[in-house]
């Protein structure tokens, strides 16, 4: 596999590394137990968002867990709860919280695990034993910027505007919006919006700009007035991609990325489980 720019990455993915997750897993095992319950369910099922390292996907593969995307998070959590009493969800707390709330869980069932604090930061570790969703203290730096105030300003500036946001936004922002969903959802909503309508979007600016250019008969704009692109993701831009493809055409593999055999095998297990889940 080739990465057109080795400095590209994901700040959210960097918020959970394998050492931290394994340490968390060990501590949760002491709190919640490690043996299946009377119904044969796992005590905890690990679920990692696609925006995570191969090592974390492999961790899920080894421990009866699974990978999710923002499109299939609901279906993946249903899969996980059919097999376990609790879910450890990483690295994005907001996608986990927003999806769980939409499934009818309450906030008191969703404690956050802070990997930089003893016992995850809980004054009473038993909160994790009582939990349904244990949320990792991670977030997307871009989606963290969107606020309820921005939504209110958009509604004042464009009466009748439809506000749609990505589920990596905070719970308050998701609750204040008219709709929330994955990138595919956002694209579909704008495509289906009637001509002349206004749509305010809470997601990465490059997608918003592309959709605004694609649908000039609609007013499509980003909620955040201070444009904030994903600086790590956007390091792979067309020039780097063209450079990598030209080298491949010439038989020269640049910036080759390799994964060891054990990690690849276990990560594939978690990914295959995801592919077998139908949203």
Give the CATH number for residue 167: 3.40.50.10800
Q: CA distances (Å), 33 to each of 26, 122, 265, in order?
A: 10, 17, 27
Pair 39, 123 in one domain: yes
- pTM, 2 dp: 0.91
End-to-end CA distance of the chain: 28
Q: Is residue 212 part of a domain?
A: yes
pLDDT recorded at residue 234: 66
Question: Sheet of 112-113: strands edge to edge?
Answer: 66-68, 42-49, 84-90, 133-136, 112-113
pLDDT recorded at residue 278: 74
Please state, in angstroms and rounded to a whole number, the distance separating the CA atoms of residues 230 and 226. 13
Q: What is the dihedral of CA 108, 114, 117, 119, to 10 degrees?
A: 50
Pair 107, 93 in one domain: yes
pLDDT digits (tens, 9 = 90+) for 32-54: 999 988 889 999 999 999 999 99
pLDDT recorded at residue 7: 74
Nearest to 273 by CA among 6, 23, 56, 80: 80
Number of domains in the chain: 2
Pair 147, 203 in one domain: yes
Please state, in angstroms and rounded to a whole number, the distance separating the CA atoms of residues 165 and 154. 13
Q: Is residue 3 part of a domain?
A: no
Domain membership of residue 165 as a residue range: 143-222
Pair 36, 103 in one domain: yes
In angstroms, how far is CA 186 from the centroid of its own chain?
A: 15
259, 55 Cβ separation under 8 angstroms: no
pLDDT recorded at residue 231: 63
DSSP state of 235: G
Residues of the chain with pLDDT under 70: 227-234, 279
Please state, in angstroms and rounded to a whole number, the distance separating the CA atoms of residues 108 and 87. 14
Pair 121, 149 in one domain: no
Which residue matches tokens 């998701």? 174
Q: Is residue 182 part of a domain?
A: yes
Pair 128, 214 in one domain: no
Which residue matches tokens 């649908």? 215
pLDDT recorded at residue 229: 63
Q: Is residue 17 part of a domain?
A: yes
pLDDT digits (tens, 9 = 90+) for 172-231: 999 999 999 999 999 999 999 999 999 999 998 889 999 999 999 999 999 998 766 666
DSSP state of 134: E
Q: Which of 206, 222, 238 is the last residue of a domain?
A: 222
């Amino acid at each position: 596999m080739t990465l057109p720019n080795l400095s590209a990455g994901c700040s959210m993915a960097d918020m959970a590394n394998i050492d931290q997750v394994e340490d968390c897993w060990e501590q949760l095992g002491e709190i919640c137990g490690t043996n299946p319950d009377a119904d044969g369910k796992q005590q905890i099922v690990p679920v990692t968002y696609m925006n995570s390292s191969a090592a974390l996907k492999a961790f899920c593969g080894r421990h009866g867990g699974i990978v999710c995307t923002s499109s299939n998070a609901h279906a993946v959590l249903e899969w996980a709860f059919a097999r376990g009493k609790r879910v450890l969800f990483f690295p994005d707390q907001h996608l986990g919280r927003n999806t769980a709330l939409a499934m009818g869980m309450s906030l008191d069932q969703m404690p956050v695990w802070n990997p930089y604090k003893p016992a995850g930061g809980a004054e009473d570790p038993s909160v994790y034993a009582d939990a349904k969703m244990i949320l990792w203290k991670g977030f997307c730096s871009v989606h963290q910027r969107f606020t309820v105030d921005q939504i209110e300003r958009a509604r004042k500036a464009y009466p009748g505007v439809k506000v749609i946001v990505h589920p990596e936004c905070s719970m308050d922002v998701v609750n204040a919006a008219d709709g929330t969903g994955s990138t595919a959802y956002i694209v579909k909503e704008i495509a289906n919006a009637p001509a002349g309508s206004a749509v305010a979007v809470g997601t990465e600016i490059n997608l918003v700009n592309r959709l605004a250019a694609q649908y000039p008969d609609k007013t499509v704009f980003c909620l955040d007035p201070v444009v904030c692109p994903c600086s790590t993701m956007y390091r792979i831009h067309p020039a780097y991609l063209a450079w990598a493809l030209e080298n491949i055409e010439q038989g020269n593999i640049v910036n080759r990325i390799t994964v060891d055999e054990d990690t690849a095998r276990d990560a594939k297990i978690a990914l295959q489980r995801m592919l077998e889940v139908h949203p």
